[in-house]
Structure 1
Amino acid sequence: MRKSLLLIVLCCVSLWSCTKQESIDPFATIKPEESRFTKIPLVEGLNEPMELEVLDNGDVLFIERNGKLKLYQAASTETIEVGELDVYPDGEDGLLGLAKDPNFSTNNWIYLYYAPAGGPSINRLSRFDFKENLLDVNSEKIMFEVPVFRGCCHSGGSLEFDGKGNLYLSLGDDSTPFESDNYNPIDERSGRPENVDAQRSSGNSNDLRGSIIRIKPEPDGTYSIPDGNLWPVGTPNTRPEIYVKGNRNPYRISLDQRNGNLFWGEVGPDAAMDSMRRGPKGHDEINLATKAGYFGWPYFVGNNKPYWKYDFEKQESLYEFDPKAPKNTSPNNTGVEILPPATSALIWYPYGPSEEFPMLGEGGRNAMAGPVYYREDYEKSAVRFPGYYNEKVFIFDWMRNWIFTVSLTENYEYDTMERFMPSTVFDKPIDMQFAKDGSLYMLEYGTYWRAQNDDSGLYRIVFSEGNRAPQVKIAADKKVGAAPLTVGFSSEGTFDPDLEDGITYEWDFGVEGGKSNDANPSFTFEKAGTYQVKLTAKDKSGESSFATLEIKVGNQPPSVQIDWKGNRSFFFGNEAIDYAVNVADAEDGTIAESDIDLTITYIEGYDLIKAGHEEEVLSIGETYINQAGCKACHAIANESVGPDYTAVSEKYKGDVKAKAYLANKIKNGGGGIWGERVMPGHTHLEDQQISEMVDFILSIADPNRGGKLSARGTYQLENPKSSEGYYLVQANYTDKGANGISPLTTTSQLMIRNPKVMASNADQLKDAARANGENVSFVKYTADNAWLMLQNIDLNQITRISLEIDPTNTGGKLELRSGSPNGKLLGTTEKLSKASRPNGAKGGWFTVEMPIESTDSVGDIYLVFKADQEVSIWNTFQLNSLKFNR
């Protein structure tokens, strides 16, 4: 039975008290709409933020991995550097953990977990004085040090206090996964590096690594051991500090301040597939410990899925480990041999879809645990979260960029979960904490691992129970251009969730005297430079929020046009098409054709890649790389977790076997070329996607390889390879930059698709629905005047459309209109019904022809259904495909 059911029982006993509570908190049991939450940027462009602490005055302490301690000052909204430690920043080490003492307001103590620079190879937990907004590095009280194997993996490092003043610290297994095929590292061979065997750490009761420890800090800088840890003080071959054992990389932990429940996200191994003789594929975990325990690594993962005891010398699998009686017989183990029974994860999920928790999606993964919320523990502020989130734990994933809230049963077992703020963008969330006023503060790491990311930052999420701040949208008709640059700005999409309020606008164009109160102003930037434009929207009650936009003045983007002599939407088998790419740039003058990039690529399947904005245009391959999350580990030009793509491209330049080799690496994983790290396999990606990704990487050092064509010529189209394939014609030119503004790229695209278009691939639908089912592609028209729309269609030389239909039990005709559902009529069918079937057939699909008027322009077309009898969701007119004929 859920805890919330207890509330219902109490309401029945005391109706007055529940009614009173509901009047205080109208969202005690009703889920608030997302518009009641506002995500406010406080500071952005951080350098690898790690953990935060919100102080009682609203200031926020946070650390960056390179050793810096920073303070966001709420009163001034300024961020200052308040301390720095000399750290070893390689691998996954550096300044990792931060916690303020429960009595910080009186003793000014903070705790830091970090890797000191130089030797020996240790990580250290220390207490420091933080007074007058400065870290006193000379006040350091070293509490303990952990010997580590530097330069590899899994440092953990999260610090948190519970409600009783106990300090928890998470420690990773300090082991490489890269020499065990991404399964469990239990290599016991002599002469091997120590970090290939996690049994020496995570499975070792006498080692702090691979654990979450629990200690009681004492005033003199030492610590004592609280009752209830996994092994009592004095137990031979154990460390009494250990509360939880069997961790791989518990990267973010949190404590329920009321009952002491410990939550953490466990970053799991990378094996993409189950192995019959090695063990399960990799899973990330959300774990819950209500008491001390052993949580399985390196012998189990997920819900105690067992690995095999594997003899690396003989390459033989001996037996599966037993979660009821785990046994550590490694010669590298200095602790007890028999470990406690393994405890299952609360939530677990692999790279691919999760059978148990499908709502978590698929792809890269990096599980983390956030706080448990209790409304009454915070001030009665206007921004605290509602009672709907009482007793729910916030979990998040660094790779998948989502936040979920999880409800538990009265026995602290998994009950339900739901996405939190699903329409809001989060960029690699890495820590979160509720402030004294009940608002949620969070750090976001940003796109690239081991980089100072523009999209990293500190944010605050506030809730509005009554009046809500406006939701601000800012746009401009151009963001770059030569000086003087006149820009039309728009606030379209800005709205007040409380509809009765009016909105006033305050624009600041980043220029002295550059202000406006218009909703959609125009402003001219006279001088070259980069300008931050800010739009603040305020309602009648004084609630406000803002958004910003960057305008670059001094460089006019190039113009790129593709002159394609054939139909600009469809191909019709073997045909030679003349083309020319015409480029002009105001600053560059005459353009050499060799500087123009043109590629024509055939793409299997219907997965159109759109051109980006003028100032940031991506190729097909780079788009796929972004979608797959690869840039979390690989940057274009700077080394991250893995090698940068420029270095890879240079290494394999001119190698005719490189494409096949790299495609296999992406698909199946591998390593050893760029150091110890092994890239996990990406078996969920299509071969076509991987091919485009490799083409992009190899083209960095060799832009003339592969499909680059001359800027003018003749291209031979071939017979259709797929009923849903298309040719992507993509031309781009990067100018040389001007007036201090960096080079700009403009791309022009044509997507020349198969003339047979499946109805389910329509760009928009109205009163029509895509049918569900495997290998089903038809659309159901469910009302009179229902329509489907196809974007940017060239009807030049197209004289008729073949429509594959099934009227079922209704009837009517289909009309083709240009520009809108009521636009110019280009064609129509006769009245159609089941009586229209050829040869008296009783059911199934049949084809009808619609003669149409050809046009020379490219635009949107609408196929509208005009019913002549009743239509409903049960009595529909069905369309399977459209074939455009010359």
Structure 2
Amino acid sequence: MNTLRTLMLSGITFLLSFLFGQSRAAENHKLKIDTPDQSRFVKVKLVQGQFTEPTEMAILPNLDILVAQRRGEIMIYKNHAKTLKEALKLDVYYKANVPNVNAEEGLLGIAIDPNFAINKYIYVFYSPIKTAVNRLSRFKMVNDKISPSSEKIVLEFYSQREICCHTGGSITFGPDGLLYVSTGDNSTPFDVPKQEFVNKGYAPLDNRPGLQQYDARRSSGNTNDLRGKILRIKVKSDGTYSIPDGNLFPKNDPKSKPEIFVMGNRNPYRISVDQQTGYLYWGEVGPDASGDNELRGPRGYDEINQARKAGFFGWPLFIGNNYAYRAYDYTNGQSGEAFNPLSGINNSPNNTGLTQLPPAQPAFIWYPYGESKEFPQVGSGGRTAMAGPVYRPKPGVSPYPAYYNGKLLIYEWMRGWVKAVSMSPTGDYLAMEPIFGNMELAAPIDMELGPDGKIYILEYGKGWFTKNPDAGIVRVDYLKGNRPPQINKMEIKKTSGLLPYKLIATLNVKDPDGDTLSYIWNLGKGIKKTTRTPVLTHTFTQKGEYAISVKAVDKAGASSASNTITVFAGNEHPEVEIRLTGNKSFYFPSKPVSYQVLVTDNGSTVNKKRIYISSTYTEGLDLAGAQLGHQQAAQTLIGKSLMLKSDCSTCHKVNEVSIGPSFKKVSNKYQQNSKAISYLAAKVVKGSSGVWGEVPMPAHPTMKEGEAKEIAEWIMSLSATANNKPSLPLAGKIIPPATINTGKPIFTLKASYSDMGAPGLKFLSTTNVVNLRSNVIEARDLKDISEFGRRDFSGTEALILPQDAGWIKLKQIDLTDISSLSIVIKEMGVSSEYSAEIRLNNQNGQLLGKGSISATAGNLSLNVVKDGQLHDVYIIFKANKKGIKDRPLLLNIKLST
């Protein structure tokens, strides 16, 4: 019955695809019937914290798992014994000898022969240390050991070293026993030092003498080179290979390589083959340009690609949906014509292959750093696309719902998500949706379908070029019966205190099956307690830092663990208060904002020299979600929490070097820079390269400037010499400019204090922030509306007034001293066509004012509210004529004293 229903749904989905022209809008029409409960997918940790840079894995028939580590080790995880040991150590090139250059080579890929149960053959792709090649070899494993003497070199090709980047290296077999291996373009995406005209994150097309590594046309675009390709061969029993039919080029052409199945790849880091259709899929890691440039070409995109047959997939002439780069003269900065995807030409002097390239194939899925209009589900931020398997259950084995049969699983190394992609019977894209959505993954770098029909995920861990404590192997189970508790988060009422320190911890948890739960609390330093309720009270009498966590367990023994929060016994966070005189939600042009900062520190004398006060104007808080007014929190909970929610921690650590510098090192570098906060915030939003080395840091174009500045301020607080810039006085007046910058409408007053710590305990810091919004509220910031439309007006967003009636709600604002409200209108030909009322708390609440809306504005006097409380304010519009068709536009609302 389920199979019949699945076939029927597939037929309906295919028909929808046909009717809608296989539009990306199909994602909005995808069928939601019987979508599996995501809470039933659980993450089973097999091994964690024992890997050093794992790259790819292979699951053996007995469910043992081989793991390749980039530095040369092949590790074997024994399924029954739950142990990890080394099976082989290869001497690989994994570390560059050039300062500030990271090598990405090493042991890159691993796969087992389709007949492994009989022949015990293992294939690896690696970079031998003594020869500048990348090599595909076959080994034989006996008794969990892989003998170096069993090596048969299958193929190898030259690879330029001492530069970065792009290796590919993924290995897989198709249903017909053909072997596929991906190779990177072996080209540097960085700029040539001390040159005026450089790549700037666009296609590397620099063909000047001596700069071959800056020209990907010599590799990816070269039909006579194995780099930047996905190769397809038939391995023979003696370790040699033959060329199967259907590859991209003929077998005897001196200008091409017959091993090439797909060309035009930048870094196809993870590949898979559908074991039913034979279609090849791969994730393509794209370039770094964050914006389109009419003289150079498109911004960077990562891609998920599908090859139903051999083809050219664009790089470095095209990207994404065949977006074309332009020819570029690096000697004078002049741009040429855009490349033609139907007839690509490789005229680089570094090209040894054909000049005329095959027609370029567009990407299957593509997305930039910012939000994707075509594929909004992928989100935004750093990007490293990976292709997992097409889920096909093994005969007689169905560990997951039939709903996922035939769906492609894709995943993101940087963003941490996994998506299930629905396709038509012919393989066309229909839609994507989250899968394993309740799981947090630590940089998933490989995903394999095991012999048991289950998905296994290899986690690299959140840190580059190091042994990460969160690296490991997980298996995804689908629980048809009992499910473990679902933990939202643990909260602690007060995270510090003098001795005796009373801890009150509360766990937000529910059991999806309604089971009674018990709670095992880990209070650090060997202290444990068990409770029957999700609340713990405990008194600490010994000073120290304690890491608090809890495990919730149901009656069947299924459990889940909470987050960890560090508390401090023997010292207490100081309290910082900012007192304002006047309105607590808005500031007004040229009207002074009067403030006073008060600091108290329980048990200690306040050192006023350690109080730091600053003010700034930023964008970043719309009225719907504006955190207006006071926000007091420990310093570590503001910018740091925003940093952890982003992907910044993948590239940076607090104290240690990763792919990027440590946050503390960044803080030390910029302590003398008066514009450090703005500078670093811009780097977070726009991305950065060339400051600390070649590797670019990803852009976060959708991050609000205010959030980026919070992260920057947290970074700057890490230095021992932080806050050495002049502070504002403890009390005073700040006068806003006469003309408010509408691009930066938020006035932020921030005060922080760090105590002197306590014996054996580090210092504790508290920051209090007051955000005041400009008294002019732009239409784009009005989110709570009814019966209004939106449209562009002269490059800015405006609201279309309702035909009959509608309202705008200003959420939780202070009305102190506000005596009038002005509504700025455009494109209104007849005066008094609308009337407006201002009401308190709800649509039928206290009437504060009313009036008519003229052709350009409506000025409404208000009854002053003096209670100093926050209120919802409704502005109710009524048309004096029914069904107005030519409706006017609302540009902004202005509050005045």
Interval containing the TM-score (normalised by the shorter chain): 0.7 to 0.9
Which letter maps to 2:400? F
Q: How far, CA to CA, are the matches of 2:570 and 2:57 in structure 1? A: 40
Q: How far, CA to CA, are the matches of 1:209 and 1:338 in structure 2? A: 18
Partner secondary structure for residue 169 of structure 2:
coil
User: Which residue of structure 1 lines up, in the alignment, with residue 19 of structure 2?
Assistant: none
Segments of 5+ residues of structure 2 without an aligned counterpart are: 13-30, 96-101, 192-198, 826-831, 879-883
Which letter maps to 1:418? E
Question: 1:183 and 2:217 equivalent?
Answer: no
User: Which residue of structure 2 lines up, in the alignment, with residue 709 of structure 1?
Assistant: 727
Question: 1:204 and 2:222 equivalent?
Answer: yes
Q: How far, CA to CA, are the matches of 1:518 and 1:685 in structure 2? A: 39
Task: Quote the offset at 1:86 in angstroms.
Answer: 4.4
Q: How far, CA to CA, are the matches of 1:552 and 1:665 in structure 2? A: 32
Q: How far, CA to CA, are the matches of 1:612 and 1:438 in structure 2? A: 50
Q: Deviation per CA, 1:290-312: give whole Å up to 9, x if none.
A: 22222222222223333334343
Question: 1:509 and 2:527 equivalent?
Answer: no
Which of 424, 431, 444 is matched with 1:409 structurally?
424
Which letter maps to 2:549? V
Task: Quote the offset at 1:104 in angstroms.
Answer: 3.8
Equivalent residues of 2:551, 2:559 under 8 A apart: no
User: Which residue of structure 2 lines up, in the alignment, with residue 854 of structure 1?
Assistant: 867
Equivalent residues of 1:828, 1:852 under 8 A apart: no
Which letter maps to 2:594? I
Q: How far, CA to CA, are the matches of 2:519 and 2:288 in structure 1? A: 50
Which of 33, 50, 56 is matched with 2:55 structurally?
50
Task: Quote the offset at 1:175 in angstroms.
Answer: 0.4
Q: How far, CA to CA, are the matches of 1:885 and 1:657 in structure 2? A: 33
Equivalent residues of 1:695, 1:706 under 8 A apart: no
Q: How far, CA to CA, are the matches of 1:612 and 1:251 in structure 2? A: 44
Equivalent residues of 1:614, 1:746 under 8 A apart: yes
Partner secondary structure for residue 391 of structure 1:
coil
Would the alpha carbon gap of residues 691 and 815 (structure 1) be closer, same or farther in structure 2, given more than 3 Å must change? Answer: closer
Task: Quote the offset at 1:188 in angstroms.
Answer: 2.3
Equivalent residues of 2:750, 2:769 under 8 A apart: yes
Would the alpha carbon gap of residues 655 and 745 (structure 1) be closer, same or farther in structure 2, given more than 3 Å must change? Answer: closer
Partner secondary structure for residue 213 of structure 2:
helix
Q: How far, CA to CA, are the matches of 2:469 and 2:166 in structure 1? A: 26
Task: Quote the offset at 1:505 in angstroms.
Answer: 2.1
Which letter maps to 1:198? A
Q: How far, CA to CA, are the matches of 1:157 and 1:256 in structure 2? A: 19
Partner secondary structure for residue 616 of structure 1:
helix
Segments of 5+ residues of structure 1 without an aligned counterpart are: 13-26, 869-873
Would the alpha carbon gap of residues 485 and 452 (structure 1) be closer, same or farther in structure 2, given more than 3 Å must change? Answer: farther
Q: CA RMSD in A?
A: 5.0
User: Which residue of structure 1 lines up, in the alignment, with residue 166 of structure 2?
Assistant: 154
Q: How far, CA to CA, are the matches of 2:309 and 2:242 in structure 1? A: 18
Which of 491, 495, 510 is matched with 1:476 structurally?
491
Task: Quote the offset at 1:168 in angstroms.
Answer: 1.9
Q: How far, CA to CA, are the matches of 1:464 and 1:641 in structure 2? A: 38
Which of 247, 260, 270 is matched with 1:229 structurally?
247
Task: Quote the offset at 1:762 in angstroms.
Answer: 8.4
Q: How far, CA to CA, are the matches of 1:659 and 1:512 in structure 2? A: 41
Partner secondary structure for residue 636 of structure 2:
coil
Equivalent residues of 1:187, 1:312 under 8 A apart: yes
Which of 573, 597, 618 is matched with 1:580 structurally?
597
User: Which residue of structure 2 lines up, in the alignment, with residue 730 of structure 1?
Assistant: 750
Question: 1:7 and 2:34 equivalent?
Answer: no
Would the alpha carbon gap of residues 798 and 51 (structure 1) be closer, same or farther in structure 2, given more than 3 Å must change? Answer: farther
Q: How far, CA to CA, are the matches of 1:329 and 1:115 in structure 2? A: 30
Alignment of structure 1 residues 634-649 onto 2, 5 Å? 634-635=652-653, 637-644=655-662, 647=665
Equivalent residues of 1:760, 1:778 under 8 A apart: no
Task: Quote the offset at 1:285 in angstroms.
Answer: 1.7
Which letter maps to 1:574? K
Q: How far, CA to CA, are the matches of 1:96 and 1:615 in structure 2? A: 41
User: Which residue of structure 1 lines up, in the alignment, with residue 450 of structure 2?
Assistant: 435
Alignment of structure 1 residues 8-407 onto 2, 5 Å? 8=8, 30-44=34-48, 47-70=52-75, 84-87=89-92, 88-89=94-95, 90-117=102-129, 119-130=130-141, 140-150=151-161, 151-179=163-191, 180-190=199-209, 192-313=210-331, 315-377=333-395, 379-380=397-398, 384-407=399-422
Question: 1:495 and 2:495 equivalent?
Answer: no
Partner secondary structure for residue 609 of structure 2:
helix
Percent identity, please.
Answer: 35
Question: 1:617 and 2:637 equivalent?
Answer: yes
Task: Quote the offset at 1:124 in angstroms.
Answer: 3.2
Partner secondary structure for residue 614 of structure 2:
strand
Which letter maps to 1:305? Y
Task: Quote the offset at 1:854 in angstroms.
Answer: 1.8
User: Which residue of structure 1 lines up, in the alignment, with residue 22 of structure 2?
Assistant: none
Equivalent residues of 1:279, 1:307 under 8 A apart: yes
User: Which residue of structure 2 lines up, in the alignment, with residue 571 of structure 1?
Assistant: 587
Would the alpha carbon gap of residues 332 and 422 (structure 1) be closer, same or farther in structure 2, given more than 3 Å must change? Answer: same
Question: 1:556 and 2:571 equivalent?
Answer: yes
Q: How far, CA to CA, are the matches of 2:160 and 2:258 in structure 1? A: 22
Which letter maps to 2:839? L
Equivalent residues of 2:369, 2:382 under 8 A apart: yes
TM-score between the two structures when normalised by the length of structure 2: 0.78
User: Which residue of structure 1 lines up, in the alignment, with residue 15 of structure 2?
Assistant: none
Equivalent residues of 1:787, 1:862 under 8 A apart: no
Would the alpha carbon gap of residues 779 and 636 (structure 1) be closer, same or farther in structure 2, given more than 3 Å must change? Answer: farther
Task: Quote the offset at 1:434 in angstroms.
Answer: 2.8
Alignment of structure 1 residues 527-546 onto 2, 5 Å? 528=544, 530-531=546-547, 533-538=549-554, 544-546=559-561
Count of paired positions:
834
Alignment of structure 1 residues 594-613 onto 2, 5 Å? 594-604=609-619, 606=621
Which letter maps to 2:203? N
Task: Quote the offset at 1:47 in angstroms.
Answer: 4.6
Partner secondary structure for residue 158 of structure 1:
strand
Q: Which moved more, 1:27-36 or 1:698-707?
A: 698-707
Q: How far, CA to CA, are the matches of 2:417 and 2:693 in structure 1? A: 31
Which of 752, 768, 772 is matched with 2:772 structurally?
752
Equivalent residues of 2:273, 2:280 under 8 A apart: yes
Task: Quote the offset at 1:339 in angstroms.
Answer: 3.3
Equivalent residues of 2:821, 2:859 under 8 A apart: no
Would the alpha carbon gap of residues 126 and 672 (structure 1) be closer, same or farther in structure 2, given more than 3 Å must change? Answer: same
Alignment of structure 1 residues 768-783 onto 2, 5 Å? 772-774=790-792, 775-776=797-798
Q: How far, CA to CA, are the matches of 1:316 and 1:816 in structure 2? A: 61
Q: How far, CA to CA, are the matches of 2:685 and 2:532 in structure 1? A: 54
User: Which residue of structure 2 lines up, in the alignment, with residue 814 of structure 1?
Assistant: 839
Q: How far, CA to CA, are the matches of 2:658 and 2:366 in structure 1? A: 27
Q: How far, CA to CA, are the matches of 2:74 and 2:893 in structure 1? A: 61
Task: Quote the offset at 1:128 in angstroms.
Answer: 4.2
Q: How far, CA to CA, are the matches of 1:789 and 1:59 in structure 2? A: 60
Q: How far, CA to CA, are the matches of 2:683 and 2:533 in structure 1? A: 55
Task: Quote the offset at 1:709 in angstroms.
Answer: 1.1
Would the alpha carbon gap of residues 344 and 547 (structure 1) be closer, same or farther in structure 2, given more than 3 Å must change? Answer: same
Task: Quote the offset at 1:771 in angstroms.
Answer: 6.0
Would the alpha carbon gap of residues 76 and 130 (structure 1) be closer, same or farther in structure 2, given more than 3 Å must change? Answer: same
Equivalent residues of 1:260, 1:290 under 8 A apart: yes
Q: How far, CA to CA, are the matches of 1:372 and 1:154 in structure 2? A: 25
Q: Deviation per CA, 1:289-337: give whole Å up to 9, x if none.
A: 1222222222222233333343434544454434334343333233344
Which letter maps to 1:726? I
Equivalent residues of 2:381, 2:701 under 8 A apart: no
Equivalent residues of 1:29, 1:388 under 8 A apart: no
